[in-house]
Amino acid sequence: MSGTTPIRLVVVDDQAMLRGALAALLELEDDLTVVGTAGDGAEAVRVVAQAHPDVCLMDIQMPGMDGIAATQAVRAASSATRVLIVTTFARPGYLRSALEAGADGFVVKDAPAEQLADAVRRVHAGLRVLDPALAEASLFEGANPLSERERQVLRLAADGRSAAAIAAEVFLSAGTVRNTLSSAIGKVGAANRAQAVRMAQDKGWL
């Protein structure tokens, strides 16, 4: 595409090898150029604020600030930058959260290279790009039924700590924690707290 200004990209992924491979792959396209990379959400915000790319390709599960929070921060730091989520974790809850945070597209990492490049171009053109199977699952699954408190308590219950230990951490009574866990278990249709944690994680609700 000689004569046209290439689409400027920032690639964000916590796995250095994958980040490098993704950047190299996109650089092979005549109309795409990578102007920066980042290994976590906080670094992504700094790089985007400095480079003001056209499109930021964002991973979701990263240490510290995850891709959902980073998407929101990136949009605040550079409002003209479009965000395309590129993740291994094809979970309906993640799709909803990403769109609510301001993402313009959501594709999975096992998509073919040409499909990813096409997604970048479409997002840059102002279109919304969603993995079709995931979009359908998201509609079927419905919205996250858990409150912020229930998500917090379930996340803490994930490593097996007791209601009393959770209560001490979130400054609630053990009874309130037990009630909150019971409510969360009922909302996701689980038999116990361990199953509730697994189900909520699988749907991307935590």
Interval 113-134 mean pLDDT: 89
What is the rounded average pLDDT for all residues in the chain? 88
pLDDT at res. 89: 73
pLDDT at res. 140: 54
CB of 73 closer than 8 Å to CB of 45: yes
Nearest alpha-carbon partner for 11 in 46, 48, 36, 33: 36
Give dist(CA 114, CA 120) in Å, integer.
10
Interval 116-143 mean pLDDT: 80
Kindly state the tokens that stand for 33.
């150029």
Which DSSP state fits 81?
Answer: -
Helix, strand or coil for residue 159?
Answer: coil
pLDDT tens, position by position, 140-197? 565 678 888 998 999 899 988 899 999 998 999 999 999 999 989 988 888 888 889 9
Answer whether residue 93 shows pLDDT above 80. no
CB of 68 closer than 8 Å to CB of 97: yes
Which CATH number is 148-202 given?
1.10.10.10
CB of 9 closer than 8 Å to CB of 57: yes
Answer whether residue 2 shows pLDDT above 80. no
- For the chain, what are the domain ranges? 7-140, 148-202
pLDDT at res. 139: 58
Same CATH fold assignment for domains 7-140 and 148-202: no
Q: Residue 107 to residues 35, 80, 95, 115: CA-CA distances in angstroms?
A: 21, 20, 9, 9
* Residues in contact with 51: Cβ distance below 8 Å, sequence separation at least 6, in sequence order: 8, 10, 35, 36
Give dist(CA 161, CA 122) in Å, integer.
45
* CATH entry 3.40.80.10 includes domain 7-140: no
pLDDT confidence tier of residue 1, bands split at 50, 70 and 90: very low
**Sign for the pseudo-dihedral over CA of 94, 99, 130, 16:** negative
pTM of the model: 0.67
Which DSSP state fits 37?
Answer: E
88 or 36, which is more confident:
36
* Residues in contact with 169: Cβ distance below 8 Å, sequence separation at least 6, in sequence order: 156
Q: How do beta strands 32-38 and 105-108 pair?
A: unpaired
pLDDT tens, position by position, 66-86? 999 999 999 999 999 999 999
Interval 113-119 mean pLDDT: 90
